[in-house]
Structure 1
Amino acid sequence: MTAIDSGRQIDEARRLYDAGNLDAAAAIFATLAADAAAPDQASAAVGLSVTAERMAQTLLEENAPAEAADLLLQALSVPGVADAARLRVLLGIAHLEMACAEFEVAVEAGPDADTAALAIELLARTLPLRGRDADAETVWRYGLDHQDADLAAQVQMRQDRP
């Protein structure tokens, strides 16, 4: 690829990004960022990072953490992607959201008091990490007020420990 081709491609990727066509922009940025010989490799790596971050945040807002995680893993697999630490933090957030969803399903399934109490504790302790303190309180209250006295006692014990 010549410098002119690379320059045209990065300009096209920026245009696509500005137009909101993030998938197409990310594809071009990823191709250029992965090409060690591309004169715009560093700019493409930044463009990929910014695009992936924006896409992941949108997916998280749309309650699609698994898709956000997949997207972030793809971006992180590109050698030299810029702001990898920031993308990894977003990946962690996506995993927290997925964990919360799994804990919630486990609470609802509640096959036994031990498992349900553990799921309630994990969910209630994880939700505040996502700024969902009120939801965490609701989860604790659900466990503490549960009709199964053994479950309620286990939840109380778990809530009382540091």
Structure 2
Amino acid sequence: MAAHEVESGRRIDEARRLAESGELEAATEIFAALAADEGETDRAQAAVGLALVLERRGDLAGSRAAARAALATGHPEYAAQAACLLARGFEQDGAADQARAAWQAVIGLGTPAYLPGAHLALARIAEAQGDEREAEASLRAALATGDPQAGSEAAQRLAEYLLAEGAPGEAADVLIEALEVPAVADPGRLRVLLGMAHLDMACGEFALAAEGAGDADGTALAVELLARTLPLRGRDEDAEAVWAYGLGHPDAAVAGQVRLRLHREDPPLPDA
């Protein structure tokens, strides 16, 4: 009896053992037989195994055919694995439309474990194609899964995009949502981004106060706070423009207050 001919036990387990030990031809034979049997309870799993073994043997067309067969079973676990296998292969080949369709199939199956990665992948494809609206929607969907790793990654990417678009309030909301995910990954980075969002919101309020009609001291304070906060966000030229605005303010009292604030000495350091 050949090594792959099993007298007892599940043949799927033997096929897996053969594949792991490098006996790919024997594993292929068992996987193919099981995948072709419509009454076989392990049919979906066997089709995925066949796809993986054929991929290792360099038969890409056969691998994808087996993966499509597994996907067609609709099995919540193995159909999802097959769709992921197809999607990754299409992405590697640069076939974005086919990859998108495969990732959407993963989402359509609704198996929770595979949804975060699928949403992130769809965001990645949309970003590469310049579809910002679709990328944002996919990142929000990844965050909504509540996955600690994918949620953190999605929130960071989405917050960076929103900050660049001048929407710090939305960015802050996204980051707060991510920080509420139990055991979320990289909370330090999320909090740094949240701080940056708050700085941008503060700059917006300072700018409104500086441009509004108010008492001289309050307006000058707003100018100073805005000019000293902008460099924290890498906006040195904007800070210089704010100082210039304050120094040239039509209200002489405001301009005088700004001049004093610009040239005031830093407080002395405390004694050691």
Are 1:18 and 2:121 an aligned pair?
yes
Pick one of 179, 182, 195 that aligns with 1:92.
195
Residues 49-94 of structure 1: per-residue CA shift (max 9 Å, x gap) = 1111001111111111001101111111122111111100000000
Q: Partner of 1:65 in structure 2?
A: 168
Distance in 2, Cα, partners of 1:26 & 1:152: 47
> 1:19 aligns to what SS in structure 2?
helix
- Pairs within 5 Å for 1:4-83: 8-20=111-123, 21-28=138-145, 30=146, 44-83=147-186
Q: Give the deviation of 1:10 after TM superposition.
A: 3.0
Higher RCO (C-alpha under 8 Å, 6+ residues apart): 1
Q: 3-state SS of the aligned residue for 1:146? A: coil
Percent same amino acid among aligned pairs? 54
In the superposition, the TM-score normalised over structure 1's length comes to 0.84
TM-aligned CA deviation for residue 12 of structure 1: 2.1
The total of aligned residue pairs comes to: 144
Deviations 1:9-63 (CA, angstroms, capped at 9, x unpaired): 23222111111111111111x1xxxxxxxxxxxxx31211111100111111111
Give 1:145 deviation, angstroms.
1.3
1:136 aligns with 2:253: no
2:263 matches 1:160: yes
Q: Over alpha carbons, which structure has the higher Rg?
A: 2
Cα separation, 2, equivalents of 1:68 and 1:155: 32
Letter of the 2:142 counterpart: A
Match of 1:145 in 2: 248
Distance (Å, rounded) in 1 between the aligned partners of 2:192 and 2:210? 27
Counterpart residue type for residue 27 of structure 1: A
Runs of at least 4 residues off by over 4 Å: none
Q: Which moved more, 1:130-139 or 1:74-83?
A: 74-83
